Structure 1
Amino acid sequence: MSPLRATATSRGRRPALVALVCVLVAAVLGAVAVAAFHALSGPESGPSGKEPVPGKSSDGSGNEGGSEGGDADGGEAVTEREPLQQGTGLYPRAIRLRHSGAANGHVLASTVTFRGADGLGAIHESTDDGRTFRRVGDVADPAAADGKGQCCGTLYELPRRIGDMPPGTLLWAASTGQDEDDGRRMSVRVFKSTDVGRSWSYLSTVATARGEGGGAGLWEPEFSLDAHGRLVCHYSDETDPAHSQKLVAARTSDGRNWTGHHATVASVPEPDRPGMAVVRRLPDGTFFMVYEICAPSGKYRCVVHYRTSEDGWDWGDPAGLGTRPETADGHYFAHTPNLAWAPEAGNPEGKLLLIGQAAHTRDGRRVPGERREMWTNSDGGKGPWQEKKAPVPVRSTKLDHCPNYSPSLLPSADGRRVLEIATDYDGGVCRPYRAMGPT
């Protein structure tokens, strides 16, 4: 988690003040009414073996259920930014369904929001490729109720059977418990839906902090499948006294029992804080992870890095910090990265789309106009990245928990367009906005 809620040595330990402000704003504005539920789940489909890779999935789409590909009509239309929802909406995520029968092609988006003092995962659906959305469900976790706190939700569609869960099962996970009055006991909890996001039930807990390290946190869950078809959850862990924060991965073969918890990025200097991992699988089977590494001070505070893995589980020496993506003129991203893969005509590798909260020049200055910037790379992340205009203009220049904080990218099937959801201030409210533009 970026140091936008606290100091670098305590960052990620989200201040109760921020959560209280969000709760009060949501209480004033009220929750958006939930649209009428209707069942759209389709028949089981998908493989029972390894995770599909782009261009090689069982349905021919090349999607694994993350921010990858989908619209059939292509085109390069640009749309104006519009709010995804009324009121507070944090940490947006977007996926396009590929394993959900009659709902295939629908776009689902999620945010962390509040109803009074209760944290919620708001689920929105688009049946027209992201042009319009309606709210269709809520993830209501009792562990996030009554002001206990919730952060950093993620949304994922299973591309294959995991335990008794068929392909198309939706998963939602978040960090909960950061604001408990009787001592922080944060956990990463997973919920599932079998009716395209209309209803949700508790599935499992990936990890629980149990107050180690004086109320240390567990943040920013992210799902992927490893090369053997096991479900992996990546998250940021503050519970190791030797590390202010490190990245950890755990895996499961049934969705309920999580094992093998191990560090994937753990910097040797104790104050360093690797966090906010996002993982995508490339057409050649390589797994690509982006993340930030924050430090107490210096030019590269919270700079974005990446590393790769052959199997999505073993990421090499955790002390290796990875590679810093840069443009040809030395620009780099800092804070809250997100990543997507898109096909590219004539290039079997496709291209990666990268975005972060703030872009900086070689000498550490903020890039003018950078709040509408994303990058692409057509060589598997190697070499310089190309600067492009991001679809959503973010008008606030603040560096805190709201403007452009962990935006989400969802490319079209032909890779020519991308849907972006990014947060920005509307008065004192942090709202998610959506727009579409060329890649």
Structure 2
Amino acid sequence: MVVRRTFTVLALAALALSTAVAPATAAGAGGAGRAEPPPGGAENGTRLMEGVSLYPRAIELEHSGEADGTIVVSTVTFDGDTGHGAIFHSTDDGRSFERVGTVSDPGATQGLCCSTLFELPRQVGDLPEGTLLWSASVGQQEDESTRRMTLPVWASTDQGRTWEHVSTAATASGGKGLWEPEFAVSPGGELVLYVSDENQQPTHSQVIVQATSPDGVTWSPLTDVIALPDSGLRPGMPVVRTLPEGDYLMSYEVCGPVQDCRHYTRRSADGTAWQPVTEIGAPVETADGTHFRHTPNISWYDDGTPDGRLLGVGQMLYGADGAVLPGSGSTLMTNEGVPEDDWATAQAPVSILDPWNNYCPNYSPTLLALPERGEVLELSTGYESEGGACTTYFGVGALPD
């Protein structure tokens, strides 16, 4: 698993970041003159920006007044050896994007990974409703014998154009990783941050933990959400969504023996009290056992039914027999709002050619449903045909039936 987290160094070696920030505008998939993609490259979609662009996240503003409906995207990018959060806007339902802001954490000179983006649905402390929050894993390139990775929290009150450091939500208790932060707000108004923690080794190779804050400034100690009895198992990559009746749904992978990074979910009534930490959860799979492995993500949207609808995506698509299936890299899953029930497969808007367990191709793709248009936006990463940089591509497709 450590190999999967070295993409900051590898990406820098692949290509120096271009400073171009011209708007990215969607072209026809596979249009005339498009170069044949390399293994792990995009077969369609539009490049979001020039140069390295990793770990995309997308939200549609819902609590920002006149800016509501704007799609905001974040990725991890680099300027020389220093990582940054790149922030983009789309005001045409994901057809084009323009870079509008940058998050520059001082610690990112020593490594930046796995950023997250969140809009506050209500006021938290002095942070008003509609504030955007950004966090990431910082400091992984320091020497492991002395490093203590951190999770900085940055806030924007102008839809991502400018940013202010608010706090550090957590610092690693040892020299191992803190990966893939994710935010939610509890029914009582507490800000919650979830993260994958490697610092309980050798008892646990990795666990998912959480911290809470009444104001985004002061944070509780990290407490376990998922810590499986098998010390070799690695729950990670938490993603949290709110369901119609108020339940919180966590999506995550479980790597390690037998599981091989399969996709699971679990529920909480309040986003802080989850089912027993030793339980693995409910698998995300179809009736015939088709499932994702590696870097899963999940999205919920209102389709007019009581439960709404769920969408899932992951790096690679497998069958029940453990073989990689045709459609790996170009498939999403859909579910009628009850994640413990069977899922179904559908075509993804962006197709990545033959992804494998690697930091780039189709690594942690993100989905944003646009139900008012009957569409879904996807952002995923792949290798460029020329130069070989790992970069982000976006595309819009029809929502599955």
Task: Output the TM-score relative to the length of structure 2.
Answer: 0.90
Aligned partners of 1:372, 1:94: CA distance in 2, in Å?
19
Check the 8 A contact 1:282/1:380 in 2, yes or no.
no
| Amino acid across the alignment from 2:283 | R
Shift of the alpha carbon at 1:415? 7.3
Which residue is 1:64 aligned to?
none
Which residue is 1:390 aligned to?
348
Structure 2 runs not aligned, ≥5 long: 24-42
Q: 1:110 aligns with which of 70, 74, 78?
A: 74
Structure 2 counterparts to residues 262-273 of structure 1, below 5 A? 262-273=223-234
Answering whether residue 18 of structure 2 is matched by residue 30 of structure 1, we say yes
Structure 2 counterparts to residues 166-181 of structure 1, below 5 A? 166-181=128-143
Aligned partners of 1:172, 1:102: CA distance in 2, in Å?
21
Q: 2:63 aligns with which of 87, 99, 103?
A: 99
RMSD of the TM alignment (CA)? Answer: 1.8
Rate the CA distance shift 1:282–1:134 in 2: closer, same or farther, 3 A. Answer: same
| CA displacement 1:306-336 (0-9 Å, x = unmatched) | 1111111100210011011110111111111
| CA displacement 1:164-204 (0-9 Å, x = unmatched) | 11111111000000001473221111111111111111111
Aligned partners of 1:336, 1:120: CA distance in 2, in Å?
21
Answering whether residue 294 of structure 2 is matched by residue 294 of structure 1, we say no
Which residue is 2:284 aligned to?
325
Shift of the alpha carbon at 1:92? 0.2
Check the 8 A contact 2:265/2:282 in 1, yes or no.
yes
Secondary structure in 2 matching 1:344: coil
Q: 1:306 aligns with which of 241, 244, 265?
A: 265
Secondary structure in 2 matching 1:433: strand
Aligned partners of 2:10, 2:339: CA distance in 1, in Å?
39
Secondary structure in 2 matching 1:93: strand
Q: 2:321 aligns with which of 363, 372, 380?
A: 363
Structure 2 counterparts to residues 39-438 of structure 1, below 5 A? 81-145=45-109, 148-181=110-143, 183-210=146-173, 212=174, 215-241=175-201, 242-295=203-256, 297-298=257-258, 300-345=259-304, 347-414=305-372, 416-427=374-385, 428-438=388-398
Rate the CA distance shift 1:20–1:380 in 2: closer, same or farther, 3 A. Answer: same
Secondary structure in 2 matching 1:349: coil
Shift of the alpha carbon at 1:19? 2.6
Secondary structure in 1 matching 2:66: helix
Check the 8 A contact 2:355/2:362 in 1, yes or no.
no
Aligned partners of 1:337, 1:31: CA distance in 2, in Å?
30
Check the 8 A contact 2:181/2:193 in 1, yes or no.
yes
Check the 8 A contact 1:158/1:169 in 2, yes or no.
yes
Aligned partners of 2:287, 2:354: CA distance in 1, in Å?
27
Check the 8 A contact 1:344/1:415 in 2, yes or no.
no
Aligned partners of 2:228, 2:53: CA distance in 1, in Å?
32
Rate the CA distance shift 1:193–1:159 in 2: closer, same or farther, 3 A. Answer: same
Aligned partners of 1:421, 1:193: CA distance in 2, in Å?
22
Shift of the alpha carbon at 1:34? 8.1
Which residue is 2:32 aligned to?
none
| Amino acid across the alignment from 1:226 | S
Which residue is 1:59 aligned to?
none
Rate the CA distance shift 1:416–1:255 in 2: closer, same or farther, 3 A. Answer: same
Aligned partners of 1:99, 1:34: CA distance in 2, in Å?
27
| CA displacement 1:128-182 (0-9 Å, x = unmatched) | 111110101110010002xx10000000111110111111111100000000147
Which residue is 1:20 aligned to?
9
Structure 1 runs not aligned, ≥5 long: 7-11, 36-78
Shift of the alpha carbon at 1:261? 2.3
Aligned partners of 1:201, 1:34: CA distance in 2, in Å?
25
Aligned-pair identity (%)? 44
Aligned partners of 1:338, 1:352: CA distance in 2, in Å?
11
Aligned partners of 1:21, 1:278: CA distance in 2, in Å?
25
Secondary structure in 2 matching 1:144: helix
Aligned partners of 2:11, 2:289: CA distance in 1, in Å?
37
| CA displacement 1:336-369 (0-9 Å, x = unmatched) | 1111111224x21111101111111011001112
Which residue is 1:9 aligned to?
none
Check the 8 A contact 1:234/1:247 in 2, yes or no.
yes
Shift of the alpha carbon at 1:104? 1.2
Check the 8 A contact 1:344/1:414 in 2, yes or no.
no
Aligned partners of 2:199, 2:341: CA distance in 1, in Å?
35
| CA displacement 1:223-246 (0-9 Å, x = unmatched) | 111121211100001111321110
Which residue is 1:52 aligned to?
none
Secondary structure in 1 matching 2:10: helix
| CA displacement 1:16-45 (0-9 Å, x = unmatched) | xx4333223442x4233489xxxxxxxxxx
Secondary structure in 1 matching 2:137: strand
Aligned partners of 1:203, 1:247: CA distance in 2, in Å?
23
Aligned partners of 1:206, 1:379: CA distance in 2, in Å?
31
